[in-house]
């Protein structure tokens, strides 16, 4: 019986830059009673920062991170961890707040778009050229064309 030892990823363009690293987290998590200042002494590289996150996340406060750990991606990961640990009531409150922010954001976008259309309409009224209106409002030629069609109907 013949068996071929070949990687499943060989020749697959999607994985040409794929690398797999194994990290032994036990090495970073030797002292279960370690405090934050002891932990910070061992952080020399980004990999150390992520190892600290994976093993000692409970020592980290996303709103008060020391300079060695002040990284926007680490803050985002800590925020996700917080959300994952919400109880049912906290999760409902959080999701309602997100829903409200999405609605508020889409409403603001609609108001901005309407404001641009109103400005474009007034500029058309005074005879400004379409390329200039595009520069002023940020609207596309198609959007201004649809506005002209709407105004003439």
pLDDT tens digits, one per residue of 72-130 = 999 999 988 888 888 999 989 988 888 888 877 776 677 678 888 888 888 888 998 99
Q: How would residue 7 be classed by pLDDT, with cut points 50, 70 and 90?
A: low
Banded model confidence at residue 3, pLDDT cuts 50, 70, 90: very low
- pLDDT at position 131: 92
Q: Kindly tell me the sign of the dihedral angle through the C-alpha atoms of 8, 10, 14, 15.
A: positive
* pTM listed for this prediction: 0.48
């Amino acid at each position: 019986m013949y068996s071929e030892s070949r990687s499943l990823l060989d020749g697959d363009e999607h994985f040409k830059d794929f690398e797999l690293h194994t990290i032994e987290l036990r090495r970073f998590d030797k002292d279960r009673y370690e405090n934050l200042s002891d932990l910070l002494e061992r952080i020399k590289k980004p990999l150390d920062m992520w190892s600290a996150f994976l093993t000692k996340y409970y020592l980290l406060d996303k709103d008060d991170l020391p300079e060695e750990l002040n990284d926007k991606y680490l803050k985002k990961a800590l925020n996700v961890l917080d959300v994952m640990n919400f109880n049912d009531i906290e999760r409902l409150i959080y999701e309602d707040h997100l829903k409200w922010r999405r609605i508020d954001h889409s409403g603001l976008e609609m108001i901005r778009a309407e404001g641009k259309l109103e400005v474009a309409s007034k500029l058309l009224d005074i005879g400004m050229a379409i390329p200039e209106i595009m520069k002023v409002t940020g609207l596309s030629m198609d959007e201004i064309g649809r506005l002209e069609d709407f105004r003439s109907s």
